[in-house]
Structure 1
Amino acid sequence: MTAIGRLRRTAFGIPSAQAVFSRPGFTPEAWQRFAPVARSLMEGYHASLEDPRLPALAARLDAVDPELQGFAYEGAGMGLAALDAVAPWKRRLPAFMAGPAARHAYPAYVGVGLAFARLRRSPEAQLALLDPLLGWVTADGYGFHEAFFRRRRYVLHRAVPTHLTEYGRRCFDQGVGRALWFSAGGRVPLVARLVDGYAPERRADLWGGVGLAASYGGGADERSLRDLRDRVGPHRVRLARGAATAAWGRRQAGGTAPHTELACRVFCGLGGAEAAHAVEEARRDLPTVSVEPPYEIWRQRIEHALAATAAPSP
């Protein structure tokens, strides 16, 4: 590690992933089940601080277990976005997204949203500089950060981020849903109780985030996933969209994971390859100019494609 890398690590590093998971509101299962996820994200974040040169950074990220690489790229996206904020003339993030992170674009943009939250920057103010489709994922990362690190305000008191637009708040809530899954350690009854505490109009996006986290990050066996599916009522298709998006993200990176395949079967009624194909097909010919953001049109198309197989059994 270079001297400047040590300086950046000292200034911006996070001392302990386990300490984050030990704060009030986090279940013991959170660390037990998701320690590898947290450590991989921290590895990517600290790697980007220690040596942000792309060849060196990519080598470290690609050395992470393939099932966990997406989380390492998420951490790196967070770190590079933070470094660009401190030294904007460097513009490291665009080269990273166009190069090493192209296969992990979705989680990398989540990481950028984490950085925006830590820097108190609105993700919507940065959209013009980001991918027109996946740029909205930064608002998801922003929401995850706030629910994870400012739990009292955004989970206990269920605050609404009024500084975001109506659609920005929907993406924010998807991130909140992901944070609920991880902080609850994948305990389905607790997750359901937390989601039910929010206003009814927020629950669809919260459940979408829960479905994405449970499918990409794992943490539950088949029985628990079926219990989750049976608790969400009219929002089954949101769980299905989350699972299919997780499968698509993993296949974009050239792999898959057993827990993602399982979630696709339970939530989508499809195998992971079929679910990922539905997501890729939904991305075709998205309008470049429309009243609704392309990201929302994409999400709606995915739900429409999965509606029949994700529907409740008669």
Structure 2
Amino acid sequence: MSTVIGVLRKRFLAPSLASVGFAERGFPVTHTDATARLEAVPQAVVCGFEWAIEGAPLWEIERRLALVEPEQRGFAYEGATMGYTILDAMPGGGRDRTRALLEGPGRPHIFLTYIGIGFAMARLPRPLWKNILPELTGVTYHPVMSWLAVDGYGFDRAYFDTDKWVGEQADPVPYPWAGRPEYFGRAFDQGVGRALWFINGGNSDAVAEAVGRFPEARRADLWSGVGLAATFAGGSDQSGLARLRHAAGEHYDQLALGVVFAVKARTYAGYVPAHTHLAAGVLTDLAVGQLQAISDRTEAVGDDGGPLPRYELWRAAIRAEFRPHAQRAAS
């Protein structure tokens, strides 16, 4: 049940549904049924955020999120995680809401709940980031996949401050996430790549042009984000996906990496929509089950003791599965 303080928090902190829409943000998107489904993603995030920022107890959040259709439910969990993370970071918060959410009903959506933490990072001063990631017990992929929080931060900045992060292609100030400030910019760009898919309404040609305007050194991580968004969120038909695959060129292995991570997140959550099956087939020539198997057999590669975080070692092992295709595309 909402309190007066909770209602006030929602009023001042929660964006309106219109404010996250493509037209309100000034994105060059033509309204179609496909773009409407894509636009529903940030709106689902807002709904989850509104419920959480009011301070609703976990049992109530879980029941509300269960009412969201399965295709969008993970995005609503992103928003709820964002709200709980902000509450936990507030003075006097200290109720460990985020940990309870991620260890409880949010566990199947762990890939997306990390992203929700990143959305909260975009609204909190950096000194508060030090303790923003909860210590989780018994949660698979923690803390390896916590780099998705930085991905979420990059997505948020590109989506809501597009002129700076996409138009001017600004570089983020490094932060020692997981003790590795040198990797922060790469994870950030993976989120920017995801945002480019939404900013351009799933238009493969426009997305490829947007990636191409970035410096060459940043394009690989951008392409992996594009592949993840196109597969997880949808928004394109078979023809558009085929053009996207062709446009990736030498970065095809990065695009395919994004597809694999999207499939992993969808299968782990227990719901794989038709557009994910379509993207898997068109972008990789493989079925969802085959891509899940690639993810599973590569996840144990390496450890965090080397020059790269285990997250990136996993990504590199997946890319290696598709590198011959990338080499053929570049030739």
Q: TM-score range by the shorter chain?
A: over 0.9
Deviates more, 1:220-229 or 1:127-136: 127-136
Question: Does residue 225 of structure 1 match 2:226?
Answer: no
After superposition, what is the alpha-carbon deviation per residue over 1:89-116, rounded to whole angstroms, capped at 9, x for unaligned?
1121111111111100011111110110
- Closer, same or farther: CA 137–123 of 1 in aligned 2, 3 Å: farther
Distance in 1 between residues matched to 2:128 and 2:235, nearest whole Å: 29
**Corresponding residue of 1:104:** 109
Any gaps of 5 or more consecutive residues in structure 1? none
CA shift, 1:19, in A, is 5.1
Distance in 1 between residues matched to 2:296 and 2:132, nearest whole Å: 22
CA shift, 1:118, in A, is 1.6
Aligned pairs (5 A) from 1:1-314: 1-3=1-3, 4-18=5-19, 20-23=21-24, 25-29=26-30, 32-86=36-90, 87-121=92-126, 125-126=130-131, 129=134, 131-164=142-175, 165-284=181-300, 286-308=302-324, 312=328
Any gaps of 5 or more consecutive residues in structure 2? 136-141, 176-180
CA shift, 1:309, in A, is 6.1
TM-score, scaled to structure 1: 0.92
CA shift, 1:68, in A, is 1.0
- Closer, same or farther: CA 100–24 of 1 in aligned 2, 3 Å: closer
- Closer, same or farther: CA 88–51 of 1 in aligned 2, 3 Å: closer
Deviates more, 1:154-163 or 1:276-285: 276-285
8 Å CA contact 1:124, 1:168 repeated in 2? no
8 Å CA contact 2:21, 2:43 repeated in 1? no
8 Å CA contact 1:140, 1:176 repeated in 2? yes
Moved over 6 A (4+): none
TM-score, scaled to structure 2: 0.88
8 Å CA contact 1:106, 1:137 repeated in 2? yes
- Closer, same or farther: CA 124–84 of 1 in aligned 2, 3 Å: closer
Deviates more, 1:43-52 or 1:26-35: 26-35
After superposition, what is the alpha-carbon deviation per residue over 1:6-45, rounded to whole angstroms, capped at 9, x for unaligned?
2221232112345542245402337534232122111111
After superposition, what is the alpha-carbon deviation per residue over 1:120-170, rounded to whole angstroms, capped at 9, x for unaligned?
437974587453201111110010011111111111110111334331100
Distance in 2 between residues matched to 1:52 and 1:154, nearest whole Å: 34
AA aligned to 1:7 is L
CA shift, 1:280, in A, is 2.0
Q: What root-mean-square deviation, in Å, do the aligned CA atoms of Structure 1 and Structure 2 show? A: 2.2
Distance in 2 between residues matched to 1:203 and 1:123, nearest whole Å: 30
Question: SS of the counterpart of 1:52?
Answer: coil
